[in-house]
Amino acid sequence: MKISMVSEHASPLATLGGVDAGGQNVHVAALAQSLGERGHDVTVFTRRDSTELPETVDFADRVKVVHVEAGPPKVISKDDMLPFMPALGRGMASYWGQHPDTIPDVVHTHFWMSGLAGREALKAAGLDSVPLVHTFHALGTVKRRHQGVLDTSPPDRVHLEPQVGFDSTHIIATCNDEVRELEAMGIDTAKTSVVPCGVDLRLFRPDVAPEETYGTRRIVSVGRLVARKGMDIGISALAHLARRGYDDVELHIIGGGSSGDLSSDTEAMRLMDVASELGVSDRVVLRGHVPRADMPSVFRSASLVACTPWYEPFGIVPLEAMACGVPVVAAKVGGLADTVVDGLTGLHVPPHSPEAVATAAALLLDNPDLAEELGKHGIERARERYAWPQVARDTEQVFLKLCADNGAAATWSDPIDDFVEFDRIERARRRDRALRDDELRLSLAARVDEARARQVWMRGAGEDLRVRRTQL
């Protein structure tokens, strides 16, 4: 099958860690590579943001990245890219015309502006019958709800984003919460499938040597240094732990500029001000950008990973932590409600609740056997549901059905599984796994409840040294 992907601001070639680089870069790169490994020819179109970039870069086997002239060839914020989407679409159509071997069986657009460019490309190339599949990654309605006047999206997003959904042949949502949001926008959920993001199990593994912690216990939070990621909630939770007597716990915050210098980063400065005000600046470590190859060792050094955003369209960090065997304390928002199973692979907490984060963290710190058990089930869940080959296979099935419904016989060079048989086996496998997960969840839920009850009793009775310190 010939697949054209569109990712206007998130090139697979981008270095993670900048303000506009993050989960979408990882998603597009890994999905394209996994589809290539399954025998498909994938062309990823993205906006040229440097004069030094070649038009085409071979990214992986059967995968290439094409840089399209659309606006000035320099780095600009994605919020300023909307005027250049028609040019991006026309550039794609021109490339297909010059390279007929890349004319797609299906177009898969990522983020709402790419949806506009994809539709423009198909129209300009006279390929209106080619299915256009869209993945939003993030929705403006959710962003506005949580950020209000701080939302920097272009004003036209309000009416253009729903139109992308209406115009798409099919929508691949990354979590169930997104489907509910799309339904509220008036988009027909009958043309929606849920296919989650994935995790690179070749990189994120439980057998990686952890970083040295020098006798301290460590909580790790990972994400861009923007307010909505809620890093200050983690700092406040650390202060609650400190007041309860947990004086051997540090919070390592990973994210920020690739140079490692955060001295001019306004959010980094704000976070350190918060830490100073709460008296925990000596226990908060802002590490800036950490190379992706080093992240498994960082995760493995943690007693737990805390994910405390205001909202999260999906969230790859919990998957990476789970794949490394580390339990996750996660705000129950967006995709985190799907990926982290409360009492099975981690613990859910209400959003914007530092005290709840501290209580959940204390539960895991005080019960290392329980934390280890949650970590083991996290590994199993990551491997069975979120491996990129599985995600690519689920995505592929969406594409094949659309091509069949369209009357097109999508072809590729290498033979692939019998999809009918795969679907039958996979449905049975997921049903059995769901039953097993329910049994495990009940068993672990009892242990979690027992640990929580013991925690409450010890505090109330004053039997815990940490509690006595707090009361003094």
The interaxial angle of helices 354-366 and 231-243, nearest 10 deg, is: 60
Q: Quick one: 283 and 336 in the same domain? A: yes
Q: Is residue 87 part of a domain?
A: yes
Given 347, 362, 383, which residue is the final one in a domain?
383
Residue 102 lies in a domain: yes
Contact 3, 35 (CB under 8 A): yes
Tokens (6 digits) for 185: 């926008």
Number of domains in the chain: 2
Is residue 170 included in any domain, yes or no?
A: yes
| pLDDT the model gives residue 41 | 97
User: Which of these, 414, 294, 426, 352, lies nearest to 146 by C-alpha position?
Assistant: 352
Same domain, 41 and 97: yes
Residue 159 inside a domain? The answer is: yes
pLDDT reported for residue 434 = 55
Same domain (yes/no): 276, 242 = yes
CA distances (Å), 27 to each of 19, 136, 392, in order?
Answer: 16, 12, 11
Structure tokens at 267: 């959010």
Residue 448 has pLDDT above 50, yes or no: yes
For 458, counting Cβ atoms within 10 Å of its Cβ (0-12 exposed, 13-18 middle, 19+ buried), the class is middle
**Residue 188 sits in the same domain as residue 266:** no
Would residue 137 count as lying in a domain? Answer: yes
Residues 181 and 228 reside in one and the same domain: no
Could you tell me which of 19, 62, 57 has the C-alpha nearest to residue 37?
62
Specify whether 36 is located in the same domain as 167.
yes
Residue 353 lies in a domain: yes
* Strand pairing class (41-47; 2-7): parallel
Mean pLDDT of 59-82: 95
Tokens of residue 199, six digits: 């995790």
- List the CATH number of the domain containing 374: 3.40.50.2000
- Looking at the fold, whether 9 and 108 belong to one and the same domain comes out as yes
Across the range 201-207, mean pLDDT stands at 96
Could you tell me if 45 and 138 lie in one domain?
yes
In a domain, 221, yes or no: yes
The answer to whether residue 207 is domain-embedded is no
Residue finishing a domain among 361, 383, 405? 383
- Do 106 and 184 lie in a common domain? yes
Q: Which of 383, 413, 435 lies at the terminal end of a domain, its last residue?
A: 383
Q: Per-residue pLDDT tens for 323-382?
A: 999 999 999 999 999 999 999 999 999 999 999 999 999 999 999 999 999 999 999 999
Q: Are residues 166 and 238 part of one domain?
A: no
Task: Please check the confidence at residue 421 and state whether its pLDDT lies above 50.
Answer: no
Do 116 and 251 share a structural domain? Answer: no
Higher pLDDT, 202 or 314: 202
Question: Does one domain contain both 309 and 190?
Answer: no
**Average pLDDT of the chain?**
88
Domain that holds residue 167: 2-194
